[in-house]
Structures are given as structure tokens and as C-alpha cells.
Amino acid sequence: MEYQNLIARSAAGLQPSGIRKFFSLAAEMKDVISLGVGEPDFKTPWAIRKAAIDSLDKGRTWYTANAGLAELQQEISGYLSRRFSLEYDPAQIMVTVGGSEAIDLCVRTFVDPGDEVLVPEPCFVAYAPIVALTGGVPVPIVTKEEDAFRLTAGALKAAITPRTKLLVFPFPNNPTGGVMRRANLEEIAAVLRGTDIMVLSDEIYAELTYGEKHVSIASIDGMKERTVLVNGFSKAYAMTGWRLGYVAAPPVVMDVMYKIHQYAIMCATTTSQYAAIEALRSCDDSIEKMAGEYNMRRRLMVDRLNKIGLHCFSPEGAFYVFPSIKSTGLSSQAFCERLLNEKKVAVVPGDAFGESGEGFVRISYSYRVEHLREALDRIEAFVREIK
Amino acid sequence: MNNDLLLLLEKNARLSCEELAAMLDMDKAAVAAQIKQYEAEGIIRGYAAIIDWERTDREYVSARIELKVTPKKDRGFEELAEQISRYSEVQSLYLMSGGYDLALTIVGKTFKDIASFVAYRLAPMESVQSTATHFILRKYKDKGVVVDDVHRDERRVVL
């Protein structure tokens, strides 16, 4: 078989993830300290795990409704109102297999071949490939450290063309830690309100902001009707492996996403959904405890990296720091490869998150303090040696 | 009183003042002064490692003893508690609500050590009415740490 000739062009064009590429190198080495993962180090709170076990005990092993358990839709609706002052009717909420499925659904719902999708970068690595699969054209908008890695109204305006269909809005941001405050959102909303551009707001890190509480763009005047809100349980409740997220959207949009979800997925995992109900009912405290812990680690990382001589923006959300390595004179790839080979510390080259990430590296701090400290000691020794 | 500094130290007493200062968004000198003050006030009583002795070759036996006590007029349980806590074998001593009054944990080299402590030290005390000794067979969680759990990071980089 000539497989190469059979594979769809859009699929064949997919590039391997820059993070994975680098970490398969790291995986082959022994005693490597990794600062690469993008998931909490906390275990899912026990009460949540117990709820899942109980649901299995009771034999609740069938499909749920396509949009998810009604009880869970109800709880999510309450949660969005309680935590972010967002009012969504439960029928406007659909439970998905992680935030990832929700992103995919939204892109498939809106993007035809040739449509342009604006993607602020550096950002999560999945948006552009998903857009490319539908034949859409990802259009990066660079966010800069001098703007606190926020999307500015000016940059947005400059990137809009008659073919612009969708704006990916990834805040709090992985990998930069940039967040959009209410005043920044107002400016973005002012640009979008007069257009037919939809916003894919990926708020998976909404519970992890340091300083002010997260504000959703959907809560800004006139924005709910043009926003598809994506969130999930992975980061806030340390539930990555449960693969559970959700999407909230205007009714007509939801009708289409519902159909795609129904045909492609049917429903999210039943056991995870029962666990999620418990999470939303009783675990606000756990969220805050974990967020407090991340915050201390964040300050430790920023302080130490700056002292080491790697200029580090103080991230306002998520659990990564994104220091500049320009002072070393090395490229991101070279820095990471040498740090791995010489000190056995694995961090992610910034260019994995888009070209504009060149000159930076992403360091996750979802690790125990002892682990972080050992890694920082090695990074310090490395930087001293190369300078 | 903001207890963040104490909570951090309780979990990891080896953090430096510099690290603590960064984590708590405080001044390094202020952290050092605060720790000194906690020590002076007897709020910080020491800096101990959490050790899982089961993994060592140390031979020891520990037991939990419940005491029923006749409280002394005016001094209640205080006098007896003070006396018992003077013994170095006693690791912890609590006044309890419920079916008995004082609970203590003691550590000895052998079963016999514990037996003699109960027979010759505790039981003869004037206000002790009765003792119940329970030997500790295994520790699963101690000082907030699950001792059976050797930390292994099972996470992988997936994207």
C-alpha cells in the first residue's frame, strides 16, 4: 500500500509537537529532572475519586445523555455563576472529553477552508493544528512581554481581515502566564462588537490566577453572544486523566456543536461525570488550597530565575514561568538541549509555542518545592558556566 | 496572626529565609526576624525530620496508652500530666474527651520496656484508675505524610 498517497493532505501536513519532540530526547536519559509537564502534581482530591468509585459500585456504567448528565450541566451552570458571574442556562452547556474536544468542536463548527483564525502566540500547541485540519488558516498575533503578554486591541485590529472567522482567546495563557484584566477585555470587546468574529475563549486555567480573580470575556457587555466558552476540570481540580471539560455557547452554535459531539463522541465518560458533580459541589476549598500552593511556587521561581540572571516575567496565571534566555546568547533549542545534556534538566523551548516564543523557555512549576529547588540549582550552575 | 510562614515551615523546615521570603512575598530580613520571634515565644518548638523508622534497622516498639484518671481538686489533670510528660519515653500526651482522660504514646526498645513502664511508672500513680495499652503495629500516615508512599512522578509529557 502507498499509504503516503492515501493520507489526507491536511493530516499529512501536521507537524509533531515541539514539546513532545524535545521530551522524547529527555525520556531516553537517566536521572533527568523534568520541568516539562502541563498538569497538576496534586492528586485529584479524595472526595472526587470516592464519588467515582461509588458510581461504579452502583453500576452506573451506561452512556449518559449526549450533552452530559443533567445534574452535571446544572452544577456547571451554578459554578460559572458562582465563580465568574456568568449566567448560562444548563441547556447552553455541554460536557466534553476534556477542554480539548471542546476546542476541536468549536473550530469544526465555524471554520471552512480558507477561513482565517486569529491565534495569539505564544500559546498552547494544539490550536493551529486543529485549525489546519479543517482547512482554516491560523494567523498568529504576537503577544509581547512589554504588554504583559496580553492581546492588545491594536494588534487585534491589525490582524483582522474580511476572512477572519474566529479569534482564539487563550487566557490565562499557557505558556506565558499572561492574563486579561477587565479593562483589557473591554478594549478587545470594543474591537469585536462591530464584527461577525466569534471568540473561542479557552479558560482552562481560570482558577489559577494570582492577584485578581479571572474575568471571562463572555461577561463583558455584548460578548456572550459571540463567545464559545471552554473550560474543564483538569487544571482546577487536578483531574487531567479524567478527560472532562465543557463548552458553553449561544443556542444556535450549541445545536451544531451538539451534533458533531453526538456523531463523533456520543458522550463524555460516565464515571468522570459523576466525579465532576462531586467536584463542583464540595471542592471549592481544594481549588483555593492548590492555587495558594502554586502561587508560592510561582514567586519562588520568579525570584530565583531573576537572581540567576534569566529575566523572568511575573506570570499572573496558569502554572508556568516563561523566562527570557536571550542574555545567554543561545537559541531556545540550544539552551534546552545543552541544559538537558549538561545538567539533566528538561524545560520546554519557547519556540514550541509559536515563533514568537523564540528566546524564551517554559518551565512548569507544578512540582514539589524540593524538586523545583534542585532544578533551579542546576539551572543556576548551567547559566554560570555558559556566561 | 497570618500563619502562612508557620504552615510552610511545618511542611518543610529546610526552606531558607530567602526562599520563604520569595514564596510569601515578604522581605528576607522580616522573615528571619519573624522566625526568631516564633522561636522566642515558643511557637516554633524545633525543626525535626519526619522519619519512617520501619525502613531502618532500628528495633523499637511503640504503644498508645489510655489512662482513666481521678482529677485532683483545684489542679484537675495538670499535675499528673506534668509528671507523666517528664519521662523521656513519652512521645506525646493529650487530654481527651470521651471514654478515658489521658492518651499517651510511648516508645521503647522492647515489648518488655513498655510493659515495665506501664507496670512500674504509670499504674502506681495515685490518681491513675486504670490503663489500657495498645501496641502500634504499623504506621500508615504520620505527621501528614503517607509513609508507605515513596514519591514517584508518573506524569508524562503528552503534548
Q: Looking at domain B53-138, which of 3.20.20.70, 3.40.50.720, 3.30.70.920, 3.40.109.10 is its CATH number? A: 3.30.70.920
Q: Is B100 in contact with B92 (CB distance < 8 Å)?
A: no
Distance CA A180, CA A170 (A): 10
> Alpha helices, DSSP H only, in chain A?
3-6, 9-12, 18-27, 46-57, 70-84, 98-110, 127-133, 153-159, 182-192, 251-264, 270-282, 284-308, 332-343, 369-386
Quick check: B153 contacting A, CB < 8 Å? yes
Number of H helices, E strands in chain B: 5, 6
Q: Are residues A18 and A164 in the same domain?
A: no
Q: Are residues A247 and A376 in the same domain?
A: no
Distance CA A286, CA A326 (A): 38
Amino acid, single-letter form, for residue B58: R
Single residue among A283, A316, A342 that ends a domain in this structure: A283
- Scanning every residue of chain A, which has its alpha carbon at the shortest distance from the alpha carbon of B13? A370
Which residue in the set B15, B22, B155 is minimally distant from A39, CB to CB?
B155
What digits encode the pLDDT tens for the residues B118-137? 999 999 998 999 999 999 99
Q: Do A41 and B155 touch (CB under 8 A)?
A: yes
Which residue in the set A20, A125, A299 is minimally distant from B23, CB to CB?
A299
pLDDT band at B2 (very low <50, low <70, confident <90, very high): confident
pLDDT band at A329 (very low <50, low <70, confident <90, very high): very high
Entry pTM? 0.89
Q: Are residues A265 and A380 in the same domain?
A: no
Q: Do B22 and A303 touch (CB under 8 A)?
A: yes
- Of A91, A171, A173, A87, which is closest to residue A353 (Cα–Cα)? A173
What digits encode the pLDDT tens for the residues A4-43? 999 999 999 998 888 887 888 888 888 899 999 999 999 9
Which residue in the set B19, B21, B159 is minimally distant from A38, CB to CB?
B159
Single residue among A283, A318, A349 that ends a domain in this structure: A283
Amino acid, single-letter form, for residue A41: D
Q: What is the CATH number of the domain that holds A265?
A: 3.40.640.10
Q: Do A20 and B12 touch (CB under 8 A)?
A: no
Give the gap in angstroms from C-alpha B53 to the nearest C-alpha of chain A: 22
- Of A215, A211, A156, A206, which is closest to residue A180 (Cα–Cα)? A215
**What's the Cα-to-Cα distance from B51 to each of A268, A370, B21, rounded to whole Å?**
43, 17, 27
* Contact list, A368 vs chain B (CB under 8 Å): 151
Quick check: A20 contacting B, CB < 8 Å? yes
- Of A285, A271, A242, A290, which is closest to residue A51 (Cα–Cα)? A271
What is the average pLDDT value for chain A, to the nearest integer? 96
Output the nine-digit C-alpha cell for A31: 536521572
Q: Is A343 in contact with A381 (CB distance < 8 Å)?
A: yes
Output the nine-digit C-alpha cell for B68: 482513666
Quick check: B22 contacting A, CB < 8 Å? yes
Q: In chain A, what percentage of residues exceed pLDDT 70?
A: 100
What digits encode the pLDDT tens for the residues A289-322? 999 999 999 999 999 999 999 999 999 999 999 9
Q: Do B12 and A370 touch (CB under 8 A)?
A: yes
Q: Do A296 and B24 touch (CB under 8 A)?
A: yes
Give the gap in angstroms from C-alpha A87 to the nearest C-alpha of chain B: 32
Distance CA A146, CA A178 (A): 11
Three-state secondary-structure class, residue A279: helix
Size of interface A-B (CB pairs under 8 A): 45
pLDDT band at B72 (very low <50, low <70, confident <90, very high): confident
Quick check: A34 contacting B, CB < 8 Å? yes
Q: What is the CATH number of the domain that holds A372?
A: 3.90.1150.10
Domain boundaries, chain B: 4-40, 53-138
Q: So what's the ipTM on this one?
A: 0.80
Note down the domain range covering A235.
Answer: 46-283
Which residue in the set B23, B153, B159 is minimally distant from A125, CB to CB?
B159
Q: Are residues A220 and A349 in the same domain?
A: no
Q: Are residues A111 and A164 in the same domain?
A: yes
Which residue in the set A19, A126, A296 is minimally distant from B23, CB to CB?
A296
Residue with cell 500500500: A1
Q: Are residues A363 and A250 in the same domain?
A: no
Q: Is A95 in contact with A72 (CB distance < 8 Å)?
A: yes
